[in-house]
Amino acid sequence: MGKTILYARNETDLIKILSNNPGTQIVGGCTRIESLPDKFISTHGIKSISQIVRHELYIDVGPGATLSDLLNIGQTHLPQILYEALNCIANPFIRNIATVGGNICTPEHKLTLFAPLMALDARLEFKNLDETRTENIRNFKGVPDGFILTNIRIPIVDAELSIFRRIGSEHTITQQSASFAFMADTEKNSLLNVHLAFAGPFAFYSKEFENAMIGRRLPLQQSDINEIENLVIEEFQKTATDKMISDVVKQQFFNLTRYSFEQLT
C-alpha cells in the first residue's frame, strides 16, 4: 500500500487539512521517523512556520525552521545555553533537515532542545481555525487535538552562569539519552535566580525548588551543596516515579546538579 502525502500552502491551509483529516500526522524533516505513516501532512515549503524573527528581548522561531537555521543566527545572538545545545545535535547534514518543532514535539522521548528551552522559559503558540493558545514549554505534554504548533518564543537571556550537558550516546537517541540545563544569576553575594531542567525519558522542572534557591547566600558552602543536592533528589524522585529511567542516568543528573552548584562556591 502506498503512502498518501498531503501538502499545505500556508498555515491556514495546514489547519484546514488537519481538521478534515483528524488524527493525520504532521511531519517536517522526518529525521526521527523510522517508518512514515500511511497518510501524513508535510510542512515543507510553508514559509510562515519556517521563519525566525529576532526581537530585542526574544526570538520567534517557526516550528518548520531547521536547527541549522536557528544555529546560523550566531553565537552572539542566541542564549549561550541554546547555542551549545544546537551545536551538539547530530551533524551539520542532519541539522540542515531536522526542524525545531520536530525536536520539541517528539512524543516518546524529550530531545536535546527541551531542557534548555525549559530553563529559558520558552513559550509555545498553537492555532486551530478559531483559536490561538499559548503554553509554557514547562507544561507541554503534546500539541492539543486539532491544533498546530505555529511559533516558539525564546527569551534572549544572558545568565551569569549557564551549563548545558548532553547525556548518553553522542549521535543517537536511546533511553539513556537526556539533556541537562542550568542557569543562575547572582546579586550582592546572593542567588537572584536559578533554573534547572532535565529532559529525556521525561521532563523535570521544579518551580518549588527554584523558589527555595532564591536569596541563598554566596559563596555556597559544602553543607549548602549537600542540602541542595538532597532537595533536588527529593523533587526529582517525585517526577521520576514509575518513569522508565536508569539509575545511571539519574546519577548523572544528580552529579551534574552538584557540579553546577559547586561553581557558586
In a shared domain, residues 146 and 203: no
What residues have CB less than 8 Å from 13, skipping those under 6 apart?
Answer: none
What is the distance between the terminal CA atoms of the chain, rounded to a whole angstrom?
62
Does residue 250 surpass a pLDDT of 70?
yes
pLDDT of res. 86: 97
Instruction: Locate 22 and state its grid cell.
Output: 483528524
Better-scored residue on pLDDT, 39 or 84: 84
Domain boundary among 155, 172, 192: 155
Residue 192: which domain range? 161-262
Contact 94, 117 (CB under 8 A): no
146 and 171 both lie in a single domain: no
Q: Which residue has the higher pLDDT, 247 or 163?
A: 163
Q: Are residues 200 and 143 in the same domain?
A: no
pLDDT tens digits, residue range 127-147?
999 999 999 999 999 999 889
Residues 146 and 167 in one domain: no
Tell me, what's the pLDDT at 33? 55
The total of structural domains in the chain comes to 2
Residue 222 pLDDT more than 70?
A: yes
Mark whether 186 and 228 lie in a shared domain.
yes
Q: Are 109 and 39 in contact (CB under 8 A)?
A: no
Last residue of a domain, one of 113, 128, 155: 155
Q: Residue 242 above 80 pLDDT?
A: no
CATH of the domain at 113: 3.30.465.10
CA-to-CA separations, 12 to 9, 61, 164, in angstroms, rounded: 8, 18, 37
- Residue 244: which CATH number? 3.30.390.50
Question: What does pLDDT average to over the chain?
Answer: 91
Domain check: are 237 and 173 in the same one? yes
pLDDT of residue 158: 87
| 108-120 residue pLDDT tens | 889 999 999 999 9
The answer, as to whether pTM is greater than 0.75, is yes
Does a structural domain hold residue 102? yes
CB-based contact 133:225 (threshold 8 Å): no
Per-residue pLDDT for 210 more than 90? yes
* 141-178 burial code (b ≥16 CB/10 A, e <16): eebeeebbbbbbbbeebebeebbbbbbbeeeebeebbb
